[in-house]
Amino acid sequence: MLLALRSLALLKPCCFGDVMLTTPLLGILRRTYPQARIDFIVGSHARAAVQANPLIDNRIDCGRVGQGGYPPADMLALIRKLRAGRYDAIFVPDRSPALALAASLGGAHFSIGLSSGWRGLPYNYRVPVSPGDVRHEADLYLDLARALNISTEYAAVEYTPPADDRKAALHILEQHNLFDKAFILIHPGGGQNPGMTFHEKRWPPPNFARLAAQLMRETGLAVALVGGLGDDPILAAVKGLINLPLADFGPRPWGQIGALAERCALYIGNDTGATHMAVGAGTRVVMILGPSDPRRYAPYGPRNWVNYVWREWRVPAAGVSAGAPGFSWDNGATVEDVFETVMHLLYLGAHKPS
């Protein structure tokens, strides 16, 4: 029997990519409860992932909770915010026992969250997840809806750029004479958030440079580089290896990257939050995975629209938290691998999903 919910909260503090992978669950909950108040409780680093999402009524800051730690003062403040929200249900697509405790003390009639062993004991709706059960993160989060007998058919990652960022993106395209031209957008950065620095995720700059040059020569399309704030060194490294004219959009905030992705013919990036954002923006995407497991982190969508390139290796059982012992890009995805996948999506892929 479907629960009658008039107010509900999604609690997912961090990090950007994980919050993006929560949007399929958000979309399903909004579809199921069109008149309900839906609030999203998130940290400052990942807030941009849902800043302009029209499915959310209120965005609530969780302080430092989940931003690499769980300070007691911030936990108490979070619990007070949850209680003030007077929610019928709090959904927690996360394995954290601290978030389970906060949700159980948040005053809601129902707390629904992932239960990995003892970590989910405080919930009154525990959704079992086994460390050995390797599934896509977005699909695991959708189990919270399935536990309530809610259909998850047509669940999709969604991203809406803020209006100011869309305006800024148009200005950038005009500056580079790309306003009305098809272009491929390459983001070579990522691998860093408040919870982890994992630069091994980054495909080497010489590979990006070779790929960009080959795409310009063989497709006739313009290629543009973009990065996140702080990605200046890797953008310079890639650009410095290319002798062909290349548009360099430089380091940009999340919203502008999303707005530029929305306008491009195809987006290429590493296993990062920005790549999941590009999926949500609705463009074709090729993700380059190295130490990450595509069964967990591949772009979430139809493979004839969003795809990935990966050379199999022995991924640690603990996942990304174990780092990348023994991994080397020398044995990873090649320029030829990525080029072939890009060409397939550009010229043989399906029309944009409706």
How many whole angstroms separate alpha carbon 269 and alpha carbon 225? 10
172 phi/psi in degrees, rounded to 5:
-60, -45
163-347 carries CATH number 3.40.50.2000? yes
SS3 label, residue 168 = helix
Q: How many CA atoms lie within 13 A of 285 on its CB side?
A: 33
User: What are the domain boundaries of the chain?
Assistant: 7-146, 163-347
In contact, 264 and 180? CB cutoff 8 Å: no
pLDDT category at 319 given cuts 50, 70, 90 is low
pTM: 0.95
pLDDT category at 96 given cuts 50, 70, 90 is very high
> Cis peptide before 15, with omega less than 30 degrees from 0?
yes
Provide the pLDDT for residue 68: 84
pLDDT category at 318 given cuts 50, 70, 90 is low
Examine domains 7-146 and 163-347 and report if their fold is the same. yes
287 phi/psi in degrees, rounded to 5:
-100, 135
pLDDT digits (tens, 9 = 90+) for 154-198: 999 999 999 999 999 999 999 999 999 999 999 999 877 776 778
The CATH topology of domain 7-146 is: Rossmann fold (3.40.50)
pLDDT category at 326 given cuts 50, 70, 90 is confident
Beta bridge partners of 7: 37
C-beta contacts of 143-149 below 8 A and 24+ residues apart: 143/114, 144/25, 144/91, 144/92, 144/93, 144/112, 144/113, 144/114, 145/25, 145/28, 145/29, 145/32, 147/112, 148/2, 148/3, 148/112, 149/1, 149/2
Task: Return the axis-axis angle of helices 205-219 and 232-239, rounded to nearest 10°.
Answer: 50
